[in-house]
A and B are shown apart, each in its own frame.
Chain A
Amino acid sequence: MLRSQGLTPLATDLDPSRVAPRCAGTVTRALRPFLHGRRGILACLCMASVVLLAPDAAVGGTETHPEADRSLRAPATWQLPSVPQVMRVLSLRDYNTRVVVVGTMLLGAGAGIIGTFLLLRKRALMADALSHAALPGIALAFIVLEAAGLSGKSRFGLLSGALVFGAAGVGAVLMIRRWTRVKEDAALAIVLSVFFGLGVALLGVIQRMATGNAAGLEAFIYGKTASMLFSDAVWIGAVAGVVMVVCGMFFKEFTLLCFDQDFAGTQGRSGLLLDTLMLGLAVLITVIGLQAVGLILIVALLVIPPAAARFWTHRLPVMAVIAAGFGALSGLLGASVSALAPRLPAGAIIILVAALLFGVSLLFAPARGFLSTAWQRFRLERKVGQQHVLRALFESGEPLVQQAQGKPGAAAAAGPVPFAALLAQRSWSPATLRRLLAAARRAGLTRRDGDDAYHLTDAGLAAARRAVRNHRLWELYLLTHAEVATSHVDHNADALEDVLDPTLVAQLEETLAAQHPHLAAATGPAGEGPAVAAAVPPSPHRLPGQGAQDVPAGRAGNVSGRR
């Protein structure tokens, strides 16, 4: 589990001042072939982070002695940290804090990128299964190393064991899904629990081993975020760098795999190979993270930042970058907070920061956030409701309003429409209608006239003519082109008229004018532009509250002929 790490002695097994520059040089050489374009940027990023890990001399600070560090740590009872403490943490002046912050940031960034692809391939919980599956690998590696007379805690040996079993776990999930009727979710749960059970059994063996020096092995499994060593951070940096570079190199292929695996197959990309590569990267970063920060934290870093990034964009590259940013930000903020409150488990705080970012994204992100989508839905509903009111008012007094077209006061020509008549026009509740009428009045589209009766203002009339016109054009289109029955046309038109694009309306007009020349000659008065563009065509079906005789005979005949 994520250990609560209080006072941690500064313990480096390597002298950082010598290792970091050497590492940076190796990384530069190894990355030279990739140092161009976007990939180059990614590579530089991870190199820069390795350089950041160099000791104070390189950055210009002063080395902090472990004892001095201890005095700055919060006392046993938690209290608000003082300003110098905060400054000290934020400026990364402490060697320990710097290692932890940079290590978790790198891990968050790497996990964010590969997690993006896992999320889009609906494999978010794969990380959970494979991180549990790595446990028996670690335990078995320990047993084998001890049996061979070596130190059971060789990092390389244990990591290899974890890597092998993590990969075996992924393979087992894929095979169970491929060859049996067991579904993905059960396959994940089975692999997770059975592998972990095996690990627990092997740990049981280790605990009872005569020679076993298993102390610390659990920390290796459950992480020790707050006491991360410099060498841990270097390992994380290397793996995160590999993940970023490989993802950069195969970005196009991975994208293809996420969205259209079959198409990727037809393009000659081996889906299996790419899939293996992608999952291999996930295994790599999970195992390295497992060792450094623990099981739950690495799962959270693989799942939460990409899920949060999804709210901000519809584009995959942007999402990957945002996910990496969120991962790094969680690491930065979480590690800083835990440096100020050292009694709290650092890993848990990082998760909570990530979850907070997720919550903020869920609510406030502009692209897919809840408030943004709710606001869009609200606006659409308001627009639709307003158009319904305008149409109801227009159609209630239609013949008179049409005749008075162009004359001053045309809107009032039909006289006020009583509330009850409006209510009968559609199946809406009185409360809804009152709300819509009030909104329309505020917008200056309708006027209340005397005793609970309403009529359109001039502006309202213009808007109503547009709405009715769109509605009827669409109805005509549905009747003549989409073979929709008359009885259904009003409903369909209702659903669609509000989302009609102006260009589509123009196209409809052209089509209909070409097919129905009588429309061009219809009611349009002079001086309002081309008649067909301004005219409100008659409704092709019976309006509520009107007799059948109101339907123009020609249209009605045409319609019944089509049916």
Chain B
Amino acid sequence: MTWYPLDTGIVLVGALSAVACALLGNFLVLKRISMMGDALSHAVLPGLAIAFLLTGSRGSLTMFIGAAVAGVLTAAISQWVSELGQVEESASLGVVFTALFALGLILIVRGADAVDLDPGCVLYGSLELVPLESWNVAGFPLPRAAAPLAVACVLNLGFLLLFYKELKVSTFDPALAKTLGIPARLLHYVLMTLIAVTTVAAFESVGSILVIAMLIVPPATAHLLTDRLPVMLLLSVVLAMAAAVLGHVAAITVPTWFGYADTSTAGMMAVVAGLLFGLAVLAAPRYGLARRVAQQFAVTLRIAREDALGLLYRIEETQAGVSAAAVPRLLREALGGSSLLNHWALRSLRRAGHITRADAEYRLTDAGRATARTLIRAHRLWESYLTKHLALRPDQVHAPAHRIEHFTTGAMREALAGDVEPATQDPHGRSIPDEPSAGEASAVQ
């Protein structure tokens, strides 16, 4: 991979449009109207066409005004349709944006054959061609397309900073916003206007689909990583920039691995943003799948360890010498669970010093015995309790006690013991072990 100044220009424009979009996208994601981004980026088309037909100019300002009007109209019309007709909101959005898009298409085809609005270009953008028109700023070639995007960035950032509190309240608690006298609806429409304008600013260089990708994907990724709005805003900006840089790198390297030439940077930026999202889904510290799986596994392993301890305790109790080789089989037969899990459980017990392996037998250490005793105590107390209060037959109490023994605290054991007093034997006639003494308990630690 060779990096030319050209590439810097492309990345700069990509990053600017990504950041401009991501800033606003946070609020779309939080307000749960993400598809509004898709709708707006389609529905600005008639605005652009009408602006062109009215003024005959393709100047930036005309286009921006047309887009802003179309954006507000889209939001307002879909709101009206949804309220007047009691149509579900996403459906009314779907109706409105497809209709407006079709209208825009017809306007473009009908009245303005000369208009240079190629739908394909709107959709894909042409980020690669951006550096061809550059200004020279202090010896550094600055792509001309960066200017409107920089303006959009500054505009969006300014809006966010100025109305941060109002945006926050009206996003998270519209009712509170109303009581505080915050014009939430006005704010909503300003947001829609800014999105429409940003969309148009970004169309030419990165295309409309990338606009949607950058509006929604980095904020959604950031939302997986944090619960705090300022952090989310910052993270979404960082992620958007990362997507721009990595996207361009991927665009010029990945296809070469398969023997093809380079490819569209805009497309790869969306793909990289998607990959970052996937990474967050897997590895986010609080909401990631990995953490959830790990937590589940930790509980599973703890239960397997405790079951193994309980089994060894019972073996010791009946004074049946059982060889170490037979323990895994017994565990599997008595408790179920996979062999691998039981193997891990035994190994981690040995490492924790709860059991030892000697003379081809597993033996409990003192610490292990103390832990096992509390477990068996909980088990047998529960069995007695269930027999006494729920009038279950002795053959019915083992399974529930076996499940609940793993979640029984010391206080619960005490209360249970007080309740089933003076029983010292469980319904099966086995003695209920005493709570380990203080010395034994400290050995557990």
Contacts and interface: CB of A to CB of B under 8 A. Distances in A.
Given A1-B123, A124-B88, A200-B209, A303 B216 contact: no
Interface stretch (B54-62, B179-187, B271-279, B424-432): B271-279
A347 B90 contact: no
Given A190-B277, A193-B209, A349 B94 contact: no
Q: Which of B90, B98, B262 has the most CB of A within 10 A?
A: B98
A251 interface: no
Nearest to B215: A189
A189 B37 contact: yes
A198 interface: yes
Contact of B263 (A78, A132, A202, A370): A202
Contacts of B81: 362
Contacts of A125: 35, 38, 90-91, 93-94
A186 B267 contact: no
A185 B216 CA distance: 10
B263 A201 contact: yes
A200 B281 contact: no
B34 A189 contact: yes
Interface residues of A, number: 63
B287 interface: yes
A194 interface: yes
Interface string B26-47: 0001001111011000100000
B313 interface: no
Given A185-B32, A194-B274, A304-B98, A345 B213 contact: no
Interface stretch (B5-13, B102-110, B411-419): B102-110
B248 to A, nearest CB: 12
Interface stretch (B130-138, B140-148, B217-225, B350-358): B217-225
A307 B95 contact: yes
B76 to A, nearest CB: 15
B94 A186 contact: no
Contacts, number: 216
Given A182-B224, A358-B95, A201 B103 contact: no
B99 A352 contact: yes
A180 B95 CA distance: 29
Q: Which of B85, B268, B289 has the most CB of A within 10 A?
A: B85
Nearest to A352: B102
A200 B274 CA distance: 14
A35 B436 CA distance: 76
Interface in B245-294: 251, 255, 260-264, 266-271, 273-274, 277, 281, 287, 289
B35 A197 contact: no
- The 9 tightest CB contacts between A and B, nearest first, are A197-B270, A194-B274, A200-B267, A201-B267, A204-B263, A204-B264, A193-B213, A1-B119, A355-B99
B110 A197 contact: no
A296 B98 contact: yes
Contact of A296 (B42, B87, B251, B270): B42
A349 B273 CA distance: 36
Contacts of A196: 209, 213, 270
A208 B262 contact: yes
A299 B264 contact: no
Given A180-B287, A345-B109, A199 B98 contact: no
B86 interface: yes
B266 A197 contact: yes
Contacts of B92: 307
Q: Which of B106, B215, B261 has the most CB of A within 10 A?
A: B106
B172 to A, nearest CB: 14
A368 interface: yes
Main secondary structure of the interface of B (DSSP, over half): helix
B14 interface: no
A457 B85 CA distance: 41
Given A193-B209, A352-B106, A205 B271 contact: no
A186 B29 CA distance: 6
Nearest to A118: B91
B321 interface: no
Contacts of A195: 274
Interface of B: 29, 32-35, 37-38, 42, 81, 84-88, 90-95, 98-99, 101-103, 105-106, 109-110, 119-120, 123-124, 207, 209-210, 212-213, 215-217, 220, 223-224, 251, 255, 260-264, 266-271, 273-274, 277, 281, 287, 289
Contact of B109 (A124, A202, A344): A344
Contacts of A32: none
Nearest to A306: B91
Given A179-B281, A205-B261, A197 B106 contact: no
B102 A194 contact: no
B119 A197 contact: no
A406 to B, nearest CB: 49
A122 interface: yes
Given A186-B32, A345-B105, 15 more contacts: A1-B119, A78-B110, A119-B88, A127-B94, A183-B34, A186-B216, A186-B220, A188-B34, A197-B267, A200-B266, A208-B263, A209-B261, A303-B94, A358-B99, A369-B85
Nearest to B100: A355
B352 to A, nearest CB: 33
Interface in A79-133: 119, 122, 124-125, 127-128, 132
B110 A299 contact: no
Given A304-B94, A351-B102, A180 B224 contact: yes
A186 B86 CA distance: 23
Contacts of A192: 38, 209, 212
A311 interface: yes
Contact of B106 (A132, A182, A300, A345): A345
Contacts of A179: 281, 289
Contacts of A122: 88, 90-91
A132 B87 CA distance: 24
A300 B102 contact: yes
B35 A188 contact: yes
Interface in A306-328: 306-307, 310-311
A181 interface: yes
Contacts of A299: 94, 98
A344 B263 CA distance: 33
30 contacts: A1-B105, A1-B119, A122-B91, A124-B91, A125-B90, A176-B281, A180-B224, A182-B224, A183-B29, A185-B35, A186-B29, A186-B34, A189-B34, A189-B37, A193-B212, A193-B274, A194-B270, A196-B209, A198-B274, A200-B207, A200-B209, A200-B264, A201-B270, A204-B262, A208-B262, A208-B263, A300-B98, A307-B94, A310-B87, A343-B109
A197 B217 CA distance: 12
A132 B38 CA distance: 11
Given A197-B210, A198-B267, A303 B88 contact: no
Given A124-B94, A208-B260, A199 B267 contact: yes
A193 B210 contact: yes
A228 interface: no
A351 B269 CA distance: 32
A142 to B, nearest CB: 13
Given A180-B281, A194-B273, A205 B223 contact: no
Given A179-B289, A304-B99, A189 B264 contact: no
A203 interface: yes
A127 B91 CA distance: 11
Contact of B274 (A1, A197, A306, A354): A197
A176 B282 CA distance: 11
A310 B82 CA distance: 12
A218 interface: yes
A231 interface: no
Contacts of A181: 223-224, 287
B19 to A, nearest CB: 16
B220 A190 contact: yes
Contacts of B87: 307, 310, 362
Contacts of B29: 183, 186
B445 to A, nearest CB: 37
A46 B201 CA distance: 47
